[in-house]
């Protein structure tokens, strides 16, 4: 493959190399997600991965605990505009800044829709400690399971 490729007008890629790099970035099964999932699994928690919490919503959560309606998102600092680590791009700034702003708006809309449907939304940044994230997730799931058991709405042995 040659690097003499020229991006079409209005393309998001500034070069062929940049296009290849951007296409190689994972949207799921990132290292932070895998680390958190491994820790949750070690605690005996079972969950769904990259699943839609709501059937009519074309958005997926990184981890969901469907019976207790807990949705977990582990957001990348660049793609979701982390206030600590986001650095504006130096090339094609208009496109990428708009893209991140749209992602942030979509994240907010997703939170609102899920919460309106009775879900608890937990969001973490990729730079947060996987151990801390897993601890907070496990505590939230345990709290919801205890509440559901006290109401008699969930079978305690029910798997996620």
Which CATH number covers residue 38? 3.40.960.10
Q: Are 121 and 113 in contact (CB under 8 A)?
A: no
Domain assignment present for 159: no
Domain assignment present for 1: no
CA-based R_g, the chain, Å: 19
Nearest CA to 63 out of 44, 82, 86, 37 is that of 37
Domain assignment present for 154: no
Domain assignment present for 156: no
3 state DSSP class of 126: coil
Query: What pTM was computed for the model?
Result: 0.80
Full residue range of the structural domain in which residue 93 is found: 16-148
Domain assignment present for 11: no
pLDDT for position 48: 97
Domain assignment present for 3: no
Q: Which residues pair with 120 in a beta bridge?
A: 70
Cα–chain center distance at 106: 12
The token pair at 116 is: 């309106």
Number of structural domains in the chain = 1
* Spatial CB neighbours of 87, under 8 Å, sequence gap ≥ 6: 78
Domain assignment present for 31: yes
d(CA 151, CA 112): 25
pLDDT of 159 above 60: no
110-136 pLDDT tens trace = 999 999 999 999 999 999 999 999 999
72-123 pLDDT tens trace = 999 999 889 999 988 888 888 888 899 999 999 999 999 999 999 999 999 9
């Amino acid at each position: 493959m040659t690097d003499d490729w020229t991006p079409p007008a209005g393309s998001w890629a500034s070069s062929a190399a940049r296009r290849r790099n951007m296409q190689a970035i994972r949207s799921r099964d990132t290292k932070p997600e895998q680390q958190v999932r491994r820790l949750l699994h070690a605690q005996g928690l079972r969950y769904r991965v990259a699943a839609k919490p709501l059937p009519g919503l074309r958005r997926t959560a990184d981890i969901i605990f469907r019976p207790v309606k807990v949705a977990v998102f582990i957001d990348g600092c660049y793609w979701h505009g982390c206030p600590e680590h986001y650095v504006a791009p130096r090339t094609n700034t208009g496109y990428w800044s708009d893209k991140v702003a749209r992602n942030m708006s979509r994240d907010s809309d997703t939170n609102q829709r899920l919460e309106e449907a009775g879900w608890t939304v937990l969001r973490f940044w990729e730079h947060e400690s996987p151990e801390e994230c897993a601890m907070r997730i496990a505590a939230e799931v345990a709290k919801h399971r205890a509440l559901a058991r006290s109401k008699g709405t969930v079978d305690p042995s029910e798997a996620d």
